[in-house]
Structure 1
Amino acid sequence: MRDRWTKEELKATIDVYLQMHTLQQQGQSCNKKAFYRMLSEQFGRSEKAYEYRMQNISYIYLLHDRDWVEGLKPAKNVGRNVTSAIEEILAELENRPFNEEVPFEAQVDSYRQKQRKSLPEGIREPKSSFGKIVKYERSPEVKGWVLDRANGQCEMCKVPAPFKTKSGKDYLEVHHLIRLADGGPDIVDNCVALCPNCHRKLHYSSETQQLTQTLLDNLHT
């Protein structure tokens, strides 16, 4: 059995997944096993391996908040490099930009599933990169820790998250109290998990400074 997936094999698998997804959107049925068999004969891997890899592709769809192929429930057990490779090929085949948030959010999910004993160190001086927009280095461990700390409740208004995502998680947004653009660190003690309403309030309210200081004080008590 082959272990390493080449780009050619991964691209062929994703291309088949896209064909299946198109058939689903058109209301047509498709024989998944026939597709698995075709790939198996072409590349010499088991049919089950292609089914599972397509579940990984469904997970990437989930991270995009897109509907995946029915019967191929998202499987999250996919490494960082493979996540990036799948997203890169999907972007190429769909003629769209690579979404850097996809591998980042996959790392957040992976971290939240692990048992951990110590506070993540985070990034005290996040590096920035310049393109059409300025991007800052972030720690997926910090985001995962903050979401777990909130336990499904907004850390400002103390109200439960307004809804659950397609993956069944409570929807909260992680906010840096001292902005990264202002030299703030990407660490647990500078982040809060907020409902969308409170997040907007912190950005646009006339009370932003007072609310921010209160949250900072709460984190350090």
Structure 2
Amino acid sequence: MDYGRGWTDQELEAAVNAYLEMLEREIRGEAFNKKAMNRELRDGPLAGRTASSVEFRMQNISAVLNDRQLRWLSGYRPAANVGEGVKTRISMMLEKRTWIGTPNDEPVVIGAELEQRTRAARARIGKKPPVQPPQGREIPDAVATVSMQYKRDPEVRAWVLEISNGRCEACDSPAPFLDIYGDPFLEVHHVRPLAEGGPDKAENSVAVCPNCHRRLHYGHDREQYRLQILDKVERLVAY
């Protein structure tokens, strides 16, 4: 075991980044493999660390999130008796992030459970639609979640929007409406998401209409559509 050997800031930040990436995927209901991530870390920035020490560090991160009453990653139960020094350093790594929204300003989806329950309800309602709508809730329950939003370069975003000339670079349609400033409304999408290591550069950014943006995130053909856009827009690089 190597619990006693101090972790560098670079090692700790790599662990935090990997943890948040997995948490984001869990929140979105996407598949991921903790063991594969552990192995990837030990093949890279955490070379020399054991699998168990990396897992223990993930439990340390869960403990910090749990202390803040924030969602932690399933399977990494918060470690007990984490040293205050370690907690402080992990907190500093977490605070480098802006804890609102999700990568690329996506709305938070509370895990796969919401989607699964919605699909089940649609299947039930579709068989025999009730005359009256469901009652709903006057005051919805609040759930504390955590996700990260990267600091994006406004120069890159502005350039991409200007070069698009008010047309979606994916489907060529004009922006569907003007924003509050009177400009064509388009959204800047990272072709390789920042959470997956994509750079915040013009070569990885494309101006798209809201419809194409949703398709790139939630469409059943999102990967094929991404490749189609990479082939279409000359400046883009397949990171």
Q: TM-score range by the shorter chain?
A: 0.3 to 0.5
TM value normalised by structure 1: 0.41
Higher relative contact order (CA 8 A, sep 6+): 2
